[in-house]
Amino acid sequence: MARDLIVIGNWKMYKTSREASNYIEHLLSKIEGCKASVFLAVPFTSISSAAASARQAKLEVGAQNMNDARDGAFTGEIAALMLKEAGATFVLLGHSERRRIFGESDAFIHRKVLRALADDLRPVLCVGETLDERSGGETEEVLKRQIETALADVPEEKAGEVILAYEPVWAIGTGKNATPEMAQEVHAFCRACLADLFGKRKAGQISILYGGSVKPENVRSLVSEKDIDGVLVGGAALDPETLAEIIQQCEGI
């Protein structure tokens, strides 16, 4: 695989800052010598302690959301610069839980992507179709719209900062994962969308991760596919032992 292998753990709304430090200590003891890039998307209040615990290790700490404005009167929101100063290096954007539960639109996610890039945070753009959309044969149309809208106006020289995560909504937290062949087909389609936006060479450098019920038992066959450059893990990432196992499986240890 020409691209780096990336494993992202998404803690969602779990773990206090104290729990974050214990988790990271445990995880690091299990993945010494691993070559994959490991990212943890943690709750806002755990970013500082997680980043401090991750220091000197090859572990990136990031957030799960942010606002698109630089600053302003937006009660309860958080800005990219605040995340950055707390120790975040990346941010998940457009996760299906944000889209579905909090009504985030493609246009809003687009503005967030531009803000993250402007303020030096790596955006991890999450896209994916619902079960109804898949049954209705709309998967490609939905993904094309999500990708093209979110990444419009991203300058080609910044495109390499973006990480794309394909997460079929029907596979998130359900125990049902896409088969490796099914995921590969969609990843190849996503890469073609990226090529339309940034050219084939650039598209070949962008990592596309798979997410949705990833576990130690299914990760190896997923990352063996040509266009699957790593995984975004929710539930199974809550236990550092299981995440370490996923990382080891990915590397074929």
Q: Which of 128, 212, 216, 230 binds ligand PGA (CB under 6 A)?
A: 212
Q: Closer CB to ligand PGA, residue 98 or residue 191?
A: 98
Angle of CA points 181, 215, 33, to nearest 5°: 105
Q: Closer CB to ligand PGA, residue 98 or residue 110?
A: 98
Q: Residue 89 corresponds to which amino acid? A: T
Report, in Å, the least distance between residue 72 CB and ligand PGA: 29
Report, in Å, the least distance between residue 63 CB and ligand PGA: 14
Active site residue 95: yes
Regarding beta strands 163-166 and 37-41, do their DSSP bridges make them parallel or antiparallel, or are they unpaired? unpaired
Active site residue 241: no
**213 binds ligand PGA, rule: CB under 6 A:** yes
Q: Closer CB to ligand PGA, residue 98 or residue 115?
A: 98
Which of 208, 214, 206, 209 is closest to 237 using CA atoms? Answer: 214
Q: Which residue has the tokens 């900062």?
A: 161
| Catalytic position from the list 97, 129, 133, 167 | 167
* Separation of alpha carbons 186 and 230, rounded Å: 14
**10 binds ligand PGA, rule: CB under 6 A:** yes
Near ligand PGA by CB under 6 A, which window of 80-88, 128-136, 208-216, 243-251? 208-216
**9 binds ligand PGA, rule: CB under 6 A:** no
* Separation of alpha carbons 61 and 40, rounded Å: 5
* Separation of alpha carbons 245 and 91, rounded Å: 24
**246 binds ligand PGA, rule: CB under 6 A:** no
Helix (H) or strand (E) holding 50, with range, is helix 47-54
Q: Both tokens of residue 166?
A: 């394909």
Which of 165, 168, 81 is closest to 125 using CA atoms? Answer: 165
Q: Residue 215 corresponds to which amino acid? A: K
Q: Which of residues 216-245 bind ligand PGA (CB under 6 A)?
A: 232-236
Q: Closer CB to ligand PGA, residue 28 or residue 232?
A: 232
Q: Which of 211, 216, 230, 240 binds ligand PGA (CB under 6 A)?
A: 211
* Separation of alpha carbons 42 and 95, rounded Å: 14
**168 binds ligand PGA, rule: CB under 6 A:** no
User: Which residues are at the interface with ligand PGA (CB under 6 A)?
Assistant: 10, 167, 172-173, 211-214, 232-236
Question: Which residues are known to be catalytic?
Answer: 95, 167
